[in-house]
Structure 1
Amino acid sequence: MKNNASQKYSVQLSFKEIRLPPFEDILILGKKCPQGIIGVSKSFELLIPNEFDVFEIDTTNIESVFINKRVLKKMDSEKIINILAEKVFPYVSECEIIKVDFKLKIFYDSIEGTF
């Protein structure tokens, strides 16, 4: 490449801190994703031991779902997987790994009594 004196550059740069793994709530593995359940599980053991539970899924395109234990303290895994099956699974291809931000709020209608 020739050095051209009239050549100019414009650079836009941004950066931010990330945490490993680069997701917090839920990870969905497609049946044919390159890393597979064993590879992802081993990575988690090294990076964040004992923080996620894994659930094997029996569908045509999904192999497993990793759910953060802090989410599981608030909602049953079966309910979470049912929500994912209805709202997310149809959009996941066999070769993908999908991160899901699962923001959960708990509301009480009214609390009465003596505390």
Structure 2
Amino acid sequence: MRPGGTCLVVMRAPDGSEFPNPGVYLEVVEDERLVLTDAYTAAWEPSGKAFMTAIITFADEAGGTRYTARIRHWSAADREAHEAMGFHQGWGQCADQLAALAARL
């Protein structure tokens, strides 16, 4: 991972449908912060429709790690569409999966 490097977030619906969301990393701070957006695709090419920027931080806390995901949408309509897709449940599942992985380490 590096700023300008490509990323791919795949959102999966309960029925198994997949929604690939290609983008790029804007900022990478090892063990601390990831910022990625779908406003660009590979090689800083603008995407057809920007939807969100994700800011993910990790911080030491009480012998563990605090994981915080903040999502910035381009418009209120984009935010509402993301919520209708199950945004809160999906990102909650992601956090649960990370916690389960960390518990095995």
Please state which band the TM-score falls in when normalised by the shorter chain.
0.3 to 0.5
Given the two structures, how large is their TM-score scaled by the length of structure 1?
0.31
TM-score with structure 2 setting the length: 0.32
The structure that is strand-richer by fraction is 2
Which has more radius of gyration? 1
Quick one: higher RCO (CA 8 Å, sep 6+), 1 or 2?
A: 1
